Amino acid sequence: MVPVSQMKREDFLATFAGVYEHSPWVAERAWDQGLTTAEDTAKGLHRAMIDVVETAGREPQMSLLRAHPDLAGKLAARGDLTTDSSAEQASAGLDRCTQEEFSTLQNLNNRYKTTFNFPFIVAVRGRNVADIIENFQTRIDNDIEIEFDEARQQVHHIAALRLNALID
């Protein structure tokens, strides 16, 4: 792969626009701010993308969170997840939930979205369904600001995993 700092804009966006779920604006702004050899590594590009998100303001950040699918939700059931989300959810066994687990996740998803106005987000890679449900139950009673911060951190963690797969 051509080093990130030497990529043409269209190639950069074709490669990295999906790192943040349904939010190509993150990659666009990272490119527009200028890329140097410091962004030629997954860690360096991740730092630049985090900076884009963290300086964007609350509404773009909220839109970023809302772009994420529910875990084991309707999109997953219909097969309408992005390739990355589908693989990530499958790696945690969310595509093989028991009926009880599925029902628990649906109830938690609905309660969470009603409370926070964005979907529950957790980096599922390396977790199993029981871990995810436990994490869900632990976080669902958080204060809105704590959960808003935690959700953004989880989004950044997901992005780091995706960047590592693309670059290193």
The band of 78, judged by pLDDT with boundaries at 50, 70 and 90, is low
User: What pLDDT is attached to residue 80?
Assistant: 63
Q: 79 in a domain, yes or no?
A: yes
Q: Is the pLDDT of residue 76 over 60?
A: no
- The full DSSP string for 102-144 is HHHHHHHHHHHHHHHSS------TT--HHHHHHHHHHHTTS-H
* Domain harbouring 118, CATH code: 1.10.3330.10
The yes-or-no answer on residue 156 being catalytic is: no
User: What pLDDT is attached to residue 104?
Assistant: 96
| Full domain range(s) for residue 79 | 70-155
- pLDDT tens track for 89-128: 889 898 899 999 999 999 999 999 999 999 999 999 999 9
Total-model pTM: 0.93
Q: Do residues 50 and 103 share a domain?
A: no
Query: Of 46, 68, 156, 157, which residue is the catalytic one?
Result: 68
Q: Do residues 82 and 145 share a domain?
A: yes
